[in-house]
Amino acid sequence: MLTPKQHELLVFIDQHLRRTGCSPSFEEMKIGLDLKSKSGIHRLIGALEERGFLRRHKHRARALEVIRQPADSVATERVDQKFAPNVIRGDFSARFQGARAAAEVAAVSLPLYGRIAAGQPIEALREHQTEIEVPIAFIGQGEHYALEVVGDSMIDAGILDGDTAIIRKGETAENGQIVVALVDDNEVTLKRLRRRGNSTALEPANARHETRIFPAERVKVQGRLVALMRQY
């Protein structure tokens, strides 16, 4: 049996993972649960780990995994309403469509364009050869496609080698968003976008990798990350 705050935190983490593909920060959890300090979040996470609801992956930044949910579906629905999409603070804005139960079952087919480097850029993606089933809860409005992540340069953003990135197609993105960037019309990579005057920076989320800076005209946004899929 979970306390109300433990239950709220578990649902908050679960919904953040579904919407963004990575764990919320302690600051986001503190704000989401209206707590005064992060120490309360540490205690709640420890309690959820002890009860077998949550797993914390060591040596990986912001890596939390929801193992199971409590059976109290009425309470879950009540907390779901509290953490509506516009309350969650994150890098991505994928929204749930329809009721949560229906969304978890429904799926759509997206083109799987192939592999994208989360390390050094690779040759621009060719025509897709297959499709992949994606829960409709992972996407919002607009056209989407999927890519297989290769490399470790985005691990601190919770993006791992072998993950499937769900991308909302588009040519615009805000500073700080993780995007598919096409460099010189020839090579493509998954990085965080930063615009600085007439320059565009493609930032990794791994201290072992360097930020690459280009004249703005050399970088084209091909879409932005809205969700991740991972198999264990």
3-state class (DSSP) for residue 220: strand
Q: Which of 25, 39, 109, 191 is catalytic?
A: 191
**Which residue among the candidates 153, 169, 199, 220 is catalytic per the annotation?**
153
153 noted as active-site residue: yes
Cβ(206)–Cβ(155) below 8 Å: yes
β-strand pairing of 219-229 with 164-169: antiparallel
Our CA angle for 181, 89, 98, nearest 5°, is 90
Which residues are CB-contacts of 28 (< 8 A; sequence separation ≥ 6)?
A: 16, 88, 89, 90
Distance CA 116, CA 197 (A): 27
Q: Is 169 a catalytic residue?
A: no
DSSP state of 187: E
CA torsion angle 165 169 172 178 (round to 10): 0
Using CA atoms, how far residue 183 sits from 136, 166, 195, 201, in Å, is 30, 20, 14, 11
Tokens, residue 220: 């084209």
For residue 136, the 8-state DSSP code is G
Give the CA dihedral 179, 184, 189, 192, nearest 10 degrees: -40
**Alpha-carbon 32 to chain mean position:** 17
- Catalytic positions are 153, 191
